[in-house]
Chains A and B, each alone.
Chain A
Amino acid sequence: MADGRGTIRRRAGLRLWLAGGWLALLALAAILAPWIAPADPLAQDLLGGRLPPIWVRGADPQYLLGTDSLGRDVLSRILWGARIALIVAALAGTATALIGATLGLLAGFLRGWVDLLISRLIDIWMAFPPVLFSILLIAVTGPGLGPIILAIVVIDWTRFARVVRAEAMAQGAMDYVASARVAGRGRIGTMLREILPNVVPTIVVLLTLEMGISVIVEAILSFVNLSISTDQPTWGGMIAEGRTSIHQAWWVLVFPLIALFLTVLSFSQLGEGLKDRFDPVLR
């Protein structure tokens, strides 16, 4: 292509590499956090509170990115926070994908009353403000890793169900499905062997996007102080703290925010990049 859009296609590869690179780096940092974190993320130093990052005057070289109001090392907290963020992303994303895609597949392929029921549920879900719903769920279950994952699954299953349902319907109408049925394959067999493989690329794309959303949801819940217990460092918790001391210590907000920004952007760019890769029309 000679026009400017050709450049976009070329950049798509770069985009995948950048996004994947950041996420790989983050995963590595999360795994190695106990060894590479310069300080204990929970250790308070009441005399060394709100120390700026080392390139600012008045910094303590011991704290690379400065300390928060309780004197805790910002860098160490970000590294440990990455663990929570990625665990939530992986577990919540996968669980949501499994449940949402299963319901969508059933609705789209079996049709009839199953579809009616699931579609109605999706409609009802669409009428809920998602952030408020998740806060409500966490308030009910109490904070913790499990409840957060549960909340994400309960709220976001419709993202998968809607798309997979539509796609399963489209696939179900195609000739190859009919011929599989004629060849004597049962309903469930057809669904798993013929429909599912064609829907998998879509599920993978949605899963990648969902991981980014999970990271945000966790951050939002931590921000309203409803996430994991307070003795675990989370990006959202750090941001909440940074927001209150924004005029005195910007670094407490800025660094976790950058980490969160890059991570969410990477998940979404990875998803979009994969979508382009999988889409036969664009290829």
Chain B
Amino acid sequence: MRLIRQILLRMLTTAVTLIGVAVIVFVVIRVVPGNPIAMMLPPGATDEDVLRLTALYGLDKSLPQQFLIWAGGVLHGDFGTSITSRQPVLALVLDRLPATLELSIMALVIAVLIGGVVALTGTRSRDSGIEAAIDIGNGIALSIPDFLWGLILILLFGVLLPVFNISGRITPSLPLNFVTNFYLFESILRGRPDLWLDLISHMFLPSLALAIPLSAIIGQVLKQSLKETMHLDYVTLSRTKGYGENHVILREALPNAILPTLTLVGVQFTFLIGGTVIIERLFSYEGLGNLAIDAVINRDLPLIQGIVILFAVIFTAVNLVVDLLYAVLNPRLRHG
């Protein structure tokens, strides 16, 4: 029963957070000085035209009224209509979401792989020069944000040693007969290496740029946690059974050291997703972030609103998933 109460409480705070996000975005973008309606109309439009369109988008009502109308729509899945493309916001956003999700997940996988290898190597050669070098590398990787890593990667592997694509999501001249917008998943499932290799060649550098800071955090925290675990009695006991260092680290220490890392990775993963906004711009990757920046520049209010809300939903969902994972992975909580 305690668990149910906790879940309910959790959902309540999540709802409050999302409403808060909606209110703030709503208020912020209504104080935009430039009139978005005027921007939509061709030169020479009359004041009457302006009024007509203002009424059409509901911009003539008071702020609270506008919010209630909009929120009511959202609850029915209607996020309004984009001012620039005149298409439903929801459709536009869902169209781009898969690209951003694929990029984020690929970045997460890369971060976990690099961070894991770094942590395991550091633990294996703990208290040595190798560990000191790893600490310094982690420190630098952590200090430099994804945006700068992106630029550095563009220079190194896009220009100096041009092995990866630095622009776009896929080569447009390829036969693009995708059913879904999850290009990468779909092409892997359909067994089309020509497509997924090209996709990965486009996605690798941006996802690596997103992954580097997170991999440093994973490397640092997991290594610390592993090192503490390596001193524990059950690890020592396992050594007396005849097991070597690798087995001891991987089978005895790792499962117990992962838990403290997991919560942290959850929060950091939301930062990573937030980073897609600028990284997508940097690599001209056609995802949600790039769409968002275009929407801001074009003052497309309904679209901005929709995208920010979607990001907030993703962030809170990630945190929720991490909490659940934590409960599943911790035998004490599972049976307790």
How far does the Cβ of B124 sit from chain A's closest Cβ, in whole Å? 13
Interface size on A, residues (CB 8 A): 48
| Residue numbers in A under 8 Å from B140 (CB-CB) | 265
A123, B135: Cβ atoms closer than 8 Å: no
A261, B154: Cβ atoms closer than 8 Å: no
B interface, how many residues as a size bin?
A: 35 or more
A246, B154: Cβ atoms closer than 8 Å: yes
Instruction: Determine, out of A27-35, A96-104, A219-227, the stretch whose residues face the partner at the interface.
Output: A219-227
Bound complex: CA of A190 vs CA of B151, how far in Å? 48
How far does the Cβ of B11 sit from chain A's closest Cβ, in whole Å? 14
Is B39 in the interface zone, CB < 8 Å from A?
no
Instruction: Determine, out of B45-53, B177-185, B270-278, the stretch whose residues face the partner at the interface.
Output: B270-278
How far does the Cβ of B293 sit from chain A's closest Cβ, in whole Å? 6
Contact among A4, A129, A219, A265 for B277, CB-based, below 8 A: A129
Is A202 in the interface zone, CB < 8 Å from B?
no
| Residue numbers in B under 8 Å from A239 (CB-CB) | 151
Interface hits, A1-22 → B, CB 8 Å: 3-5, 7-8, 11
Instruction: Determine, out of B20-28, B239-247, B254-262, the stretch whose residues face the partner at the interface.
Output: B20-28
How far does the Cβ of B310 sit from chain A's closest Cβ, in whole Å? 10
- Which of B25, B28, B31, B129: most chain A CB closer than 10 A? B28
Complex interface bits, A255-283 against B, C-beta within 8 A gives 1, otherwise 0: 00100110011001100100000000000
Is A186 in the interface zone, CB < 8 Å from B?
no
Bound complex: CA of A135 vs CA of B145, how far in Å? 17
| Residue numbers in A under 8 Å from B101 (CB-CB) | none
B312, A128: Cβ atoms closer than 8 Å: yes
| Residue numbers in A under 8 Å from B158 (CB-CB) | 246
Bound complex: CA of A8 vs CA of B13, how far in Å? 43
Q: A246-B154, A246-B159 are in contact. Are A261 and B132 (CB under 8 A)?
A: no
| Residue numbers in A under 8 Å from B297 (CB-CB) | 139, 224-226
A247, B304: Cβ atoms closer than 8 Å: no
Contact among B21, B151, B311 for A257, CB-based, below 8 A: B151
Is B299 in the interface zone, CB < 8 Å from A?
yes
Bound complex: CA of A220 vs CA of B29, how far in Å? 20
Q: A4-B127, A7-B129 are in contact. Are A216 and B147 (CB under 8 A)?
A: yes
How far does the Cβ of A263 sit from chain B's closest Cβ, in whole Å? 10
| Residue numbers in A under 8 Å from B24 (CB-CB) | 124, 128
Contact among B135, B296, B315 for A136, CB-based, below 8 A: B296
**Chain A interface mostly:** helix
| Residue numbers in B under 8 Å from A265 (CB-CB) | 140, 143-144
B311, A129: Cβ atoms closer than 8 Å: yes
| Residue numbers in A under 8 Å from B20 (CB-CB) | 120-121, 123-124, 127
How far does the Cβ of A56 sit from chain B's closest Cβ, in whole Å? 14
Is B155 in the interface zone, CB < 8 Å from A?
yes
Bound complex: CA of A11 vs CA of B273, how far in Å? 34
| Residue numbers in A under 8 Å from B282 (CB-CB) | 223, 243
A8, B127: Cβ atoms closer than 8 Å: no
Complex interface bits, B289-316 against A, C-beta within 8 A gives 1, otherwise 0: 1001100110100001001100110011
Bound complex: CA of A224 vs CA of B293, how far in Å? 8
Contact among B21, B131, B270, B277 for A124, CB-based, below 8 A: B21
Q: A4-B129, A132-B277, A135-B296 are in contact. Are A127 and B13 (CB under 8 A)?
A: no
Contact among A3, A11, A142, A219 for B33, CB-based, below 8 A: A142
How far does the Cβ of B38 sit from chain A's closest Cβ, in whole Å? 16
- Which of A131, A140, A216, A269: most chain B CB closer than 10 A? A131
B29, A243: Cβ atoms closer than 8 Å: no
| Residue numbers in A under 8 Å from B18 (CB-CB) | 127
| Residue numbers in A under 8 Å from B289 (CB-CB) | 129, 131-132
Is A180 in the interface zone, CB < 8 Å from B?
no
Complex interface bits, B119-137 against A, C-beta within 8 A gives 1, otherwise 0: 0000000011111100110
- Which of A136, A225, A265: most chain B CB closer than 10 A? A136
Is B163 in the interface zone, CB < 8 Å from A?
no
A128, B143: Cβ atoms closer than 8 Å: no
Is A189 in the interface zone, CB < 8 Å from B?
no
Q: A5-B131, A246-B159 are in contact. Are A137 and B28 (CB under 8 A)?
A: yes
A127, B129: Cβ atoms closer than 8 Å: no
Bound complex: CA of A133 vs CA of B143, how far in Å? 22
Bound complex: CA of A250 vs CA of B155, how far in Å? 8
How far does the Cβ of A251 sit from chain B's closest Cβ, in whole Å? 11
Is A71 in the interface zone, CB < 8 Å from B?
no
Is A144 in the interface zone, CB < 8 Å from B?
no
B29, A124: Cβ atoms closer than 8 Å: no
Is B59 in the interface zone, CB < 8 Å from A?
no
B17, A220: Cβ atoms closer than 8 Å: no
How far does the Cβ of B71 sit from chain A's closest Cβ, in whole Å? 16
Bound complex: CA of A130 vs CA of B292, how far in Å? 12
Binding site for A on B (CB under 8 A): 13, 16-18, 20-21, 24-25, 28-29, 31-33, 127-132, 135-136, 139-140, 142-145, 147-148, 151-152, 154-155, 158-159, 270, 273-275, 277-278, 281-282, 289, 292-293, 296-297, 299, 304, 307-308, 311-312, 315-316
New contact pairs (16) apart from A126-B315, A136-B29, A257-B151, CB-CB < 8 Å: A4-B127, A123-B20, A128-B312, A129-B274, A131-B277, A139-B299, A216-B148, A219-B147, A220-B147, A223-B278, A224-B293, A246-B158, A253-B155, A269-B139, A269-B143, A272-B139
The 27 listed contacts between A and B (C-beta, < 8 Å) are A4-B132, A5-B132, A5-B135, A120-B17, A123-B16, A123-B20, A124-B20, A124-B21, A124-B24, A126-B270, A127-B18, A127-B316, A129-B289, A132-B277, A132-B289, A132-B311, A136-B296, A142-B33, A223-B278, A239-B151, A243-B154, A246-B154, A246-B158, A247-B159, A257-B155, A261-B144, A264-B143
